[in-house]
Amino acid sequence: MLPAGVIAGLMLLGGILTGARIHGFSFSAWHSIIDGSPPNEVLLNKVNRWRQDDWSVMLPHMLAQRVDQPPFAVHNRLIGDGHYNMRVAIGAPVRDLFVLFRPQVWGYFISGDIGMAFQWWFYALGTWITAWLLLRRLTNNDEGTSACGATALLFSPFFQAWSLNCAPSTIFAGGTLLALMLLRAALSPFKIILAASLFAWCGAAFLLTFNYMPYLITLLYFIVFVFAGIALTRQNHDSTSTHSREAPRPHSYGTTGMRWVCALLAFLGILGLGTHLIASNWETIELVRNTVYPGQRLSTGGDQTIGHLLRGNIFNIIPPADWWGFRFPCEGAAFFVVFPLVFAAIFRDWWRTRRPPSALVLGISSYIVFLLLWYRVGFPEFLAKWTLLNRAPPFRTLIGFGIADIFLLCAYISHRQQLPPPFRNDYITPWIASAFWIAFHVALGVLVSSHAQFYLPSLALISGLFAMVLAPLLYLAPRLVLPAIMIASILTTYSVNPLARGGTTFIQENPLSQKIKALDQEAKTQGRQALWIVYGDRTLPNLLRMLGSRSLNGVHAYPQFELWKKLDPDGQFHSVYNRYAHVFFSVPPEGDDLEIKLTAKDCVGVFLHPDNPRFAALKADYLLCPDNHVESFDRLPRLKKIYSYAGKHIYQVRFSLRSVPVALE
């Protein structure tokens, strides 16, 4: 397969699907939140309400940039205190230099539906193309192995259950590694400059995925270990190659010097962009860094078990009915992992042929061992800090294990074909390794079944049969292992995400949204921006930002201290709201005193009665609430119900009462 033709074909497919506004996000879950109407946009499968990180958090941030005035500004006026930094908060489209390195959001400059479709297919096709190109180079153009490996990664339960939200980190980490490989192998000045430019762009784009540090740090080490293996492999090859016509041409001193200069310039460009990002957003970055969560979520590792790491071998085929035991189904999703089997096969081949494994195989293996130490044993606090791994909790490094596992399997399958005839015959070791592997999975099945409600040990064993069969298959027919994992991954995840067409039309044109926009427009004719608070629902506030309405609550990616000062001038609840949070308002169960408390690690409840003097300090114009707050609000002279639809009610805060100056004690 010619890479250019494959890439062009996939880009054409992505363009067609984007033009048709087809995507895989569960955005149509908003139907169930707003009025319970059927999600007519869904063409295949069904929406997943548990993917709130997408339809309730990330996508409303993206769409809020379109409706803000001016659109695509650095600071969005519709969220929180009205000075919400969109460069740092969520990686949303902003009309500035940094958007050049965030191609996944380019579609939002055209329309909301195009933006969602472009983002989805950039994630899906970008992941496959990047993995395929890397694997082709790592396997000496083994087309079948590369295609199966890339497909297995894309359809892995981990990637699909998280709706590909790890794709930007994966794509740009892979692009950076590929650029370094091309730069090292380039012989002509043109190819050197081209590879260095790709390194600068991919490296900068990878740096801008800092919004989720655990993935960035985990994959940064993947780049380091794998490139070290590639460099050592090429070095050994160069030292043993002859000067025959078939041997690769040695690098001249001129091209070597140019290569180093271009690599240095590219690195300085990445460093310069990072410095500019920090300098121009220092205040927000400091806020995030000093938050309780995630800023001070520091780890020294060692808090996970091998069962956690290999749980996908049991759960992927037949998932437990009660996925909520993992908080969300995506938290339980994992990869099919076979690296222990590959390790055993590598040592067996080494013993039989007396040839050590390639430096590439050793590099990937070393990365897995490095992660295993962090995952199971942990590092001293100072080492965790200086390696930056304290920002990557072990349970969030699973992405590194999954990618490295597939890459190691591909490299092993490809490179074992180059092994010389064995000096020793060995027919016993494969069966011993297989027996240990099967026994381990029997024990693992019994163990994990005890942590999942109604998940019987017999069901766990049946689900784990696929992983057990991979052991003898690796020794008897190793080239069939990857196709087997690929097929199993597709069969277990093809229905996880929906295929939907558009979705923003419903958001803008349903009766509730129409009324909200009409009230906002009325306020604008009076020369002011209406201010909303949503009571009794932590999701509904995020609707308002997509409509161009300003809501005090909703998802705040970093604490909005100007808002909190109005409610908590003495900082009594500072440790509660100093975090990434879903902020919701509710009426206190007893009394009228203000209480701000955590209802989950990332969920802050503000229990404040509209009659409380502190409420007046917020200067809200309208309240939006579900049915369960109507009885309480109808009794308040401060509030006047002006609209009801599908169990959602809008109250106007009477201006004369709202604007009375209030001294906060």
Q: Are residues 502 and 651 in the same domain?
A: no
Q: Which two tokens stand for residue 251?
A: 């690098």
Distance CA 159, CA 127 (A): 10
Which SS3 state, helix, strand or coil, does residue 501 take? strand
Query: Are residues 136 and 112 both part of a single domain?
Result: yes
* Integer Cα distance of 339 and 347 in angstroms: 12
DSSP H stretches of helix in 163-290 = 167-185, 189-207, 213-240, 253-280, 282-289
Q: Which two tokens stand for residue 454?
A: 């109604």
pLDDT of residue 419: 74
Q: CA–CA separation, 449 vs 457, rounded Å?
A: 5
Spatial separation of the C-alpha atoms in residues 225 and 212, rounded to whole Å: 21
- What pLDDT score was predicted for residue 645? 97
pTM: 0.93
On whether residue 618 sits in a domain, the answer given is: yes
Q: Place 247 in a pLDDT band, splitting at 50, 70 and 90.
A: very low
Mean pLDDT of 380-389: 96
Q: Does residue 121 share a domain with residue 29?
A: yes
In a domain, 41, yes or no: yes
The reply to whether 577 falls in a domain is yes
In a domain, 3, yes or no: yes
Among the candidates 465, 488, 509, a domain finishes at 509
**Phi and psi angles of residue 520, each rounded to the nearest 5 degrees, phi first:** -65, -45
Distances (CA, A) of 273 to 96, 201, 223, 278, 526: 12, 10, 20, 9, 43
Distances (CA, A) of 405 to 159, 229, 557: 14, 15, 32
- Give the mean pLDDT of 245-267: 75
Closest CA to 146 of 620, 462, 477, 482: 482
- Give yes or no for residue 106 having a pLDDT over 90: yes
Structural domain includes residue 17? yes
> Are 501 and 516 contained in the same domain?
no
Asked whether 334 and 162 are in contact (CB, 8 A), the reply is no
Residue 56 lies in a domain: yes
Computed over every residue of the chain, the mean pLDDT equals: 91
Say yes or no: 615 and 515 in one domain. yes
Residue 504 and residue 640 in one domain:
no
Tokens of 83: 């000075």
| Residues 501, 597 within the same domain | no
Q: Which of 468, 483, 509 is the last residue of a domain?
A: 509
Burial of 649 (0-12, 13-18, 19+ CB in 10 A): buried
pLDDT in tens, 314-323: 888 877 665 5
Q: Are residues 502 and 587 in the same domain?
A: no
Question: What's the CA gap between 450 and 427, in Å, rounded?
Answer: 37
Quickly list H helices, 37-155. Answer: 52, 59-67, 86-89, 112-138, 143-154
Beta bridge partners of 293: 579
pLDDT at 3: 85
Q: How many domains does the chain have?
A: 2
500 found inside a domain = yes
pLDDT at 325: 54
Same domain? 500 vs 627: no
503 and 571 share a domain?
no
Instruction: Name the token pair of 152.
Output: 């297995």
Instruction: Return the structure tokens found at 432.
Output: 């011993």
> Under a CB-based contact definition with an 8 Å cutoff, are residues 262 and 385 in contact?
no
Q: What DSSP state is assigned to residue 162?
A: T
Label residue 206 left, alpha or beta by phi (over 0 means left) and psi (-120 to 50 means alpha).
alpha
Q: Is the pLDDT of residue 87 over 80?
A: yes
Q: Rg of the chain's alpha carbons, rounded to an integer?
A: 27
Nearest Cα to Cα of residue 123 among 87, 146, 155, 100 = 155
DSSP code at position 104: G
Q: Are 176 and 216 in contact (CB under 8 A)?
A: no
Domain boundary among 445, 480, 509: 509
Residues 165 and 288: their CA atoms lie apart, in Å, by 20
For residue 193, being part of any structural domain is answered with no
The confidence score (pLDDT) of residue 663 equals 36
Do 6 and 141 have their domain in common? Answer: yes
pLDDT, residue 244, reads: 40
- The pLDDT of residue 347 is above 50: yes
Instruction: Say yes or no: 15 and 121 in one domain.
Output: yes
Task: Look up the domain containing 106 and give its range.
Answer: 1-69+97-155+496-509
- Alpha carbon of 177 to those of 56, 144, 223, 518: distances in Å? 33, 21, 6, 51
Whether 242 has a pLDDT exceeding 50, the answer reads no
Spatial distance between the Cα atoms of 312 and 319, rounded to a whole number of angstroms:
9
